[in-house]
Structure 1
């Protein structure tokens, strides 16, 4: 994948999408832009008509054998479907992070209503019945978010008015999505992408969809006489972007790379989650992440220099953050009570500061951290007791506040427990256990100095949604990244068109696209305006398919991770020689055209003469040994040498 300068991308976006202002960029779909139906985990079954690519990383694909019922490309358990899982996670993060504009709409949509563009949040399952009109221009958008299943009734119709496009409409459910089968005389017509996170998607018989079907974990099926078409055009929903600035209190060190980490305890996950950031324990265990989409690495101590340093850095960060003077100290005016948040949106509005709470504390409802337009606004909440976040409590960042400048800290061995459907922002440092209930959402980190870290069926990430400014370019422009089988080893090749401030590359390997290990660090070239080629041989790949990803790190510590590639190791063909012993010419089998032959005597001296190596009419390799003295020789093709006796 070619990496472009981000100011070039911004310039194009500004020209093509007038509604997008500086500091915003359209939501990227990645490889999913060509898909009509994709399931990260789950089968795809087509009994109608599908037009657009179809894929599943784990699950069977049926009914997609070709026109007229299917027009597109099928992808199954390969590097494309693995990349699609990551792209789908980023898409969900971006959509879920959009500011909600309507909290008050009932869970039932339709019945002839007309809506205005915006983001609609429903704290329960939802439904659509009858007709609904969505009005707006070509770059306006609608995002409907349901905290539960979404059901589309018989004969429901979505009408787009004023130039609004299906590519900018999303129906997102934290549960299954189903369009009830109907009669041909009363067809259901849906506009927009159906996105289940997680759950099955069922498009019943005689239902029409102009939009994608995406599921993180659930089967996708289309009924008889149904029609699903990939929407035309690109998605122009804008997401906010921040300049790539370090936090005001840059104290995390290597722990900055982690999303979940504990000095001492287990790190666990339940069911299917989406996670961006490294996961580690210096003294403990890691479990439950097999079915989740995870971007970055797993690190497990105690014999691990990465986790050893992270543990030291976590303790150091805690010490430094606790030493910052309080600006809103407990017991003085203005003091803050142990209870944060208010039930009505936008909830309690907190100004920047360092808050000390002398007892256990809780967060209920909504809490808005208002930076007042200052991107360096800092919010540090230090609690001398346990901290409880109730179900569906939400922290909202406003007016320049960045998650990297928000810290939630409990002292001593006090735990932090966040409820189901809670939404937190900032780095969370617990003295004891640190947990988040099912369907939670976290932008920041969950860290424990001495206790378990537990997560469940949610989304967690510690990177900004995008980093963009008018004068910042990516450290490298990657031209290619490939993996090829070379008999007993696999060869990784990549090339850059230019490099700026490039420190090093990291190659990571995985047997399944979930568990990643670092296998090689390759120095970059600092600054270059020329094409540079890199290569590394993996001499101990996994049996079967190996997945690889390339990560680049610049001198400032910023990283960029590129697309995943996969390759299956081919069986190495054993080198054979006949006749053996030989008087004049020996025939060799198992020599590839890219291999170099060398002949060594028993003293290890190279006696190769390339003019004595030729190809027979049947393309077999012939080696003339008539000039050599009698004795034993080793013929080596770079894999496994064979002994040849010269008479």
Structure 2
């Protein structure tokens, strides 16, 4: 019974006129996939193949005229081909709300930092999709003859993809990205960033992020916005500076904005240069179910935090992919409002976290 539950959870798991200067960043280099749309889809999947090691900063895309909506970006190591309908293969980069199109066949910036490193010879899949379009049908694409190079330069190539209905649903073959990839050669980020999350705990917002390594890193800045466009500094946190081991950071916004708001995590070098790491949304309208549990980060490397009611988390159980209870083999620490579970000695794979009345799937990478 438990094994079938694991498999079930695994199936359901889940980032106007032409305007050549509109872009999501002013640094690095650009590679353009032609803005020559003749089709539209909720989302588009495509591959980026790196000839040299590159850091992908962000994307501009072609959106329908007079459209406004929310968007998400996902990525995966390796080609998208074969994983179009497999959410567990993908990692959410981030989301943004109320993105306004600058017009048909124009470069509309997606205000979602990507910051993904692709090493020389590797191929990564990307999925750009409308998540809650208000007036938009999604992203504009161009029909193509199959999986072939759409645009390339000496550093990378954009490969033809597919249109796909949100989320990870109906596939429309032979659809190419209309967009701009903003990138830099080499590892252009001073930190190897893992994830950033804003989780509601009682009447506060718990802000949680981590790094795998840091170099020349001065401090982190968290900004807050009511609309995803206008930002103000909420807090700063001193960075580790130089580190080759995982670091975890946690802050509290004890007076979050009413309704839907947004948090943006930035990182500053010692020389003052800034990198936008991730933007997340936060819903202050939702009252937490006493039985609800939330897991962060997911996928995980060494450690996860399980958030929920104290009674709900009192006797956590962890099962591996074949249904074995491995709880006694793991370090589990309980705190006020959450528990920490350490997976250091476990192999990569799928696990189930089971609380008193609920369960969540976790992927260890």
> Whose helix fraction is larger, Structure 1's or Structure 2's?
1
TM superposition score normalised by structure 1: 0.24
> Whose strand fraction is larger, Structure 1's or Structure 2's?
2
Structure number with the bigger relative contact order (C-alpha 8 A, sep ≥ 6) is: 2
Question: Which structure has the greater CA radius of gyration?
Answer: 1
